[in-house]
Amino acid sequence: MIKIKKLSKNNYATWDSFVLEANNGTLFHLRRFLSYHPEDRFKDHSVEIYKKNTLLSVFPAADIIINDKKMLTSHPGSSYGSFVSKEELSIKDAMEMVSKLIDYSSKEGFDGIQLTIPPGFHSNRLSNYIEYSLLINGFDYFRRDVTSILTIESSEDKILNKIKPSHQRALRKSKKLGVTTKLTERVDEFFSMLKNNLKIRHGVNPTHSLKELKSLIKLFPDSINIYGAFYDGQMIAGVLNIIVKEGVALAFYISHKEDFQKLRPLNLLFFDIFKWSLKNNIKVYDFGTFTDKGIANMGLGRFKESFGASGVFRDSFKILF
């Protein structure tokens, strides 16, 4: 018998222990990560799912009004959410779990459920039981974004050989002109560049404030870092990397200064990040999505392909009662 109950703060430690041992758990699912947000920002409604008094799955979620509908959604404080489960999750339990969540949400007064599934490469054991169970229980795709991923090769030479010749020439040029790269703690400088870049290119602000970014780096010093490209002592490009789980890293923020584009700092920067990934046992490097509401940014997609990356779905599902 599967039962669902709303998470209480008393169970935060148990939740995080479960996520760390789960098949598809990531840093984004941890209460340590989700709890850094101010308490009044989101109306948390995360749930625990039990089978015979044993924790079967956790579902980080929030209560949000979308188009005048009260929706139980994947937690908006993370890039993806959905069910976090053990490797041995059966198809029977997956189907019952989804069915029970629908019943629970309806009884709690929600008008529907909306969630984003972590892409398959976040799972230790590949399984589409959850996706199948969602579709069987009446969910539909409401967005299919594409994220670019690169499999980190076993040597620096093999990593270099995956990069297109034009980008190999660009990174050699960048190095010859005096651009250097390194891990850096110059968070203020990176954030200023990021904020200006996003405002100019997209008219938006970063998802995080400078204070929040510093808090996250302090909270997860071994999992979140900034890799910068420098010229004459100035940061001219940077990437904020998040090791979301063992063997998987995500480029959460990518930024550069347009005035230094001719130096091609991002080409050198990413090659050196791939070398860092190799040394730190990262198997998959996630460049992040190049689609916006399902529409591809072709230039961004081509840029990521030039390093040998390919695209996989980051799917979102929805059901209305």
Q: Is residue 123 located within the same domain as residue 45?
A: yes
In a domain, 299, yes or no: no
Q: Is residue 93 located within the same domain as residue 134?
A: yes
| Residue 42 pLDDT | 82
Give residue 197's pLDDT band: very low, low, confident or very high (50, 70, 90): confident
In a domain, 308, yes or no: no
Which pTM was predicted?
A: 0.93
On the question of pLDDT at 150 being above 90, the answer is: yes
In a domain, 301, yes or no: no
Q: What is the domain extent for residue 29?
A: 2-145+316-320
In a domain, 298, yes or no: no
- Neighbour tally for 37: CB within 10 Å: 18
| Residue 204 pLDDT | 78
Please count the structural domains in the chain: 2
Give the Cα separation of 215 and 32 in Å (integer).
11
Q: Is residue 191 located within the same domain as residue 249?
A: yes
| Residue 263 pLDDT | 96
For range 149-160, the mean pLDDT:
97
Q: Is residue 114 located within the same domain as residue 191?
A: no
Q: What 3-state class would DSSP assign to 62?
A: strand
Give residue 14's pLDDT band: very low, low, confident or very high (50, 70, 90): very high
Q: Is residue 14 located within the same domain as residue 91?
A: yes
Q: Is residue 80 located within the same domain as residue 135?
A: yes
Give the Cα separation of 269 and 277 in Å (integer).
12
Q: Is residue 134 located within the same domain as residue 8?
A: yes
| Residue 55 pLDDT | 97
Q: Is residue 176 located within the same domain as residue 98?
A: no
Q: Where are the beta strands (DSSP E) in 161-233?
A: 180-184, 224-231
| Residue 22 pLDDT | 97
In a domain, 102, yes or no: yes
269: domain CATH number is 3.40.630.30
Q: Is residue 92 located within the same domain as residue 162?
A: no
Give residue 26's pLDDT band: very low, low, confident or very high (50, 70, 90): very high
Q: Where are the beta strands (DSSP E) in 155-247?
A: 180-184, 224-231, 234-245
**Dihedral sign (CA 164, 301, 159, 189):** positive
CB contact at 8 A, 57 and 97: yes
Give the chain's mean pLDDT: 94
In a domain, 306, yes or no: no
CB contact at 8 A, 159 and 275: yes
Q: Is residue 118 located within the same domain as residue 159?
A: no
Query: For the segment 215-267, what is each residue's pLDDT rounded down to a tens digit?
Result: 999 999 999 999 999 999 999 999 999 999 999 999 999 999 999 999 999 99
For range 114-120, the mean pLDDT:
94
Query: For the segment 266-298, what is each residue's pLDDT rounded down to a tens digit?
Result: 999 999 999 999 999 999 999 999 998 788 999
In a domain, 91, yes or no: yes
Q: Is residue 264 located within the same domain as residue 200?
A: yes
Q: Is residue 228 located within the same domain as residue 109?
A: no
On the question of pLDDT at 46 being above 90, the answer is: yes
In a domain, 193, yes or no: yes
CA 37 to chain CA centroid, Å, is 16
